[in-house]
Amino acid sequence: MAFWANSLIAQTPVPNWTNQYWPARWILHPTAPARQYGIYHLRKVIDLAQKPARFVVHVSADNRYRLFVNGKAVAHGPARSDTQNWNYETIDLAPFLQAGNNVLAAQVWYMGEGAPFAQMSYQFGFLLQGDGDAEKIANTDASWKILHNLAYSPIKNDIPKLRTYIVVGDGDRVDGARYPWGWEQLNFDDKAWVAAKPLGFATKPRGLGTDGNWGLVPRTIPMMEEKPLRLATVRRSENGRMDDTFLQGKAPVTVPANTKAVFLLDQGHLTNAYPELTVSQGQGTTVTLSYAEALIDAKGQKGNRNEITGRTLRGFDDQFVADGGDRRTFRPLWFRTYRYLQLTVETKDKPLVLDDLVGQFTGYPFEEKAQFTASDTTLKPLWNVGWRTARLCAGENYYDCPYYEQLQYTGDTRIQSMISLYVTGDDRLMRKAIMDYEHSRFNDGLTQSRYPSADFQVIPTFSLFWVCMVHDYWMHRQDDAFVKSFLPGIMGVLNWHEQRLAVTGLNGPLEWWNFVDWSKWQNAGDEIAGGVPAGARKGGSSILSLQQAYTYFRAGDLLAHYGKNEQAEHYRELGRKLNKAVYAQCWDAGRNLMADTPLAAAGQSGKTSFSQHANILAVLTDAVPAAQQASLLQKVMTDTSLTQATFYFKFYLFEALKKAGLGDQFVTQLKPWRDMLAMGLTTFAENPEPTRSDCHAWSASPLYEFLSLTCGIKPAEPGFKTVRIEPFLGDLTNVEGRMPHPVGEIAVQFQKTPTGGLTGTITLPATLTGILRWKGKTLPLKAGKQAVSL
């Protein structure tokens, strides 16, 4: 982990910077345009009489900064957010300071048109505020010096180039001959740099002042992890010789003059990292770094991810042009996602020495605290690959996918949050996500579908899942003030959907993008956006109506808990009415299935559109009688004529199996995940083949199910005050699992007896009690370790 990962100090500074104007000023370049692409370096030398024991500063920038003290990188931020909730980091610089002169230096970049969609912005600026009298010498003002670094230019890595939806922003091209090497070091000569220009308005925390610009709020999540990660092997070399000793940092590679050499390197698994390429000599050489999840064949297909024969790399690019100096290190401004990294080296009349290439893995500093093992040892790779997938989709926000979008979508985030709670016990990123969606609400009353995002997008079904996320958090954490703060926003979401119910009792025509799943929907021709079942645009979708009911029941629980009994009963009754209307109009007695709409297709009689989704939700909402639910799910899992749920919506299938007492069938449903491993995937994909993204955390849901379904660990009441353990072993003879709980660790170890009973041990934290259920029988559980037999 990087030295700064734990340097973020407690947000209790004196004076209270969250409630007063800041003496420090936002600063910028005096002549460069503040809303166009630009990379800048800022410096200030401060003289200290002695090495301080404490030197706390608060730092932010737009778009982003990397802060150095005496040449050492100490912080990276700000955590992504929106302009009215603009994060600042609080850092103690004392460990990096010395008696005498010290240099504070920052690289700040503004990507302009080439910014990622996840990057919101006001304009270029940098801010550093000393915490008290000792630190105020560091405050940003005209005493700081600034350089507009013209060595940088953007490389378009956009939709036309990569032929798919990609919105993670531009790559970096750096001309080494124009780069101010050593700019962050104390002895660098900055006489040619200009004085920074303070902005004309006051610097303020959120809620103060007359101008909008940046509403500053303290960062609520830890700093990202950074640790070295070396590529595994050289898979292919053209016009040059390189072997794995170069990747181990043991043997430089020289590319002769007037040569184009190409080296295909394999990490062995997908990762997120800052590549750091160090080169010497070779003035004028262009080195292109290209990154991809997988190689593609002549038809553009990925196939087995391990294969390279007959395949090429089409991916995201960065570029460095050597200036002829020794040990020049190129590092892109933002991390890159890759399994394969290709170096294309084009020398001019002088040879280039490739000194080293190392990645710095980065991500949210989650710790894997949970464990799961079972008699079927082939489940362990599913756990490991699922955990890698979850980690690569978590940074300063949850990401749907790290390579293509890095956007925090509610449908994905709900699943990711449950994985985080169960595997790590760390709820901070979940809390931030819930708050981000709260900040995204707009005048319709809905949340945006993904946030932070500079591109406005609305998926009403995801607003419903935001309500469910708040309910999930409430069930797993005792945090009433936080949960209660979202009730007005929840009411806005519920009201939007209620206002659009038709006289039939089902949903009426719905605006926006009513995404459900990337399935091949039957008879949904009027939905051109994709992912949308029939009956959204014109009304009458059983799926969308049942998702409303599913959410109304959860909202009813929340509202009742906080004393809003009349509203709670209103929404519970609305949920019951929706269930009744859906059953009356969409149940097909001939097929014993719920149809997607009450309607026949044009020129046909009888209901013609059927999906796993409608029937899964019918079970989860009790729209079909409890006695029919098990047989309905059996049919759902075997009838291939139904529109099939993809990896994402199988989370709800697994929840339905749990509810209907069919959890024993969960492990047999994991064949699609086993198939991904057989295809050489090292993370779980967005969709069944052919897939765009090889890493999508909504597909990592089996991690959560191994603990909540196979081991059976679930909260029995809000706040996880008690536990209900109902394991489903299926064909497994034994399982063992442990997971973090707010007051300690829950550990279970079970084996089946030859007669179908259950024996084992359960260990609960000192203040936790609960019940064990097994095939209709119940046993009370006390705190501590206990043997169980049912």
Q: What are phi and psi of 421, to 5 degrees?
A: -60, -45
Residue 67 tokens, joined: 């802060």
* pLDDT at res. 529: 77
- pLDDT-derived band at 524 (thresholds 50, 70, 90) equals confident
Q: Where are the beta strands (DSSP E) in 188-249?
A: 194-195, 197-198, 216-218, 225-229, 233-238
Using CA atoms, how far residue 516 sits from 296, 472, 545, 648, in Å, is 29, 20, 12, 9
- pLDDT-derived band at 608 (thresholds 50, 70, 90) equals confident
Given a contact cutoff of 8 angstroms between Cβ atoms, the answer to whether 84 and 73 are in contact is no
Residue range 177-232, pLDDT digits in tens? 999 999 999 999 999 999 999 998 899 999 998 888 999 999 999 999 999 999 99
Mean pLDDT of the chain: 95
* pLDDT at res. 749: 98
End-to-end CA distance of the chain: 45
pLDDT at 605 over 60: no
Residue 511 tokens, joined: 């605006």
| Domains of the chain, first to last | 27-149+177-223 (2.60.120.260), 226-363 (2.60.120.260)
Residue range 300-318, pLDDT digits in tens? 999 999 999 999 999 999 9
Residue 538 tokens, joined: 């014109």
* pLDDT at res. 603: 45
Given a contact cutoff of 8 angstroms between Cβ atoms, the answer to whether 536 and 475 are in contact is no
pTM of the model: 0.96
Q: Quick one: CA dihedral 689, 690, 692, 694, positive or negative?
A: positive
Average pLDDT in the 700-723 region? 98
Residue 145 tokens, joined: 């010096």
Q: What are phi and psi of 628, to 5 degrees?
A: -95, -10
Using CA atoms, how far residue 548 sits from 56, 78, 288, 466, in Å, is 48, 36, 50, 12
Of the candidates 464, 383, 461, 469, the residue with the CA atom closest to the CA atom of residue 418 = 469
* pLDDT at res. 1: 38
* pLDDT at res. 2: 41
Given a contact cutoff of 8 angstroms between Cβ atoms, the answer to whether 460 and 512 are in contact is yes
pLDDT at 654 over 80: yes
Q: What are phi and psi of 523, to 5 degrees?
A: 55, 40
- pLDDT-derived band at 9 (thresholds 50, 70, 90) equals very low
Residue range 209-218, pLDDT digits in tens? 888 899 999 9
- pLDDT-derived band at 6 (thresholds 50, 70, 90) equals very low
* pLDDT at res. 599: 75
Residue range 430-466, pLDDT digits in tens? 999 999 999 999 999 999 999 999 999 999 999 999 9
Map tokens 């519920």 to a residue.
494
Given a contact cutoff of 8 angstroms between Cβ atoms, the answer to whether 610 and 591 are in contact is yes
Peptide bond into 78 cis (omega under 30): yes
Average pLDDT in the 708-714 region? 98
Residue range 343-381, pLDDT digits in tens? 999 999 999 999 999 999 999 999 999 999 999 999 999
Instruction: Compute the distance between CA of residue 360 and CA of residue 267 in angstroms, rounded to an integer.
Output: 12
Residue range 253-303, pLDDT digits in tens? 999 999 999 999 999 999 999 999 999 999 999 999 999 999 999 999 999
Residue range 59-98, pLDDT digits in tens? 999 999 999 999 999 999 999 999 999 999 999 999 999 9
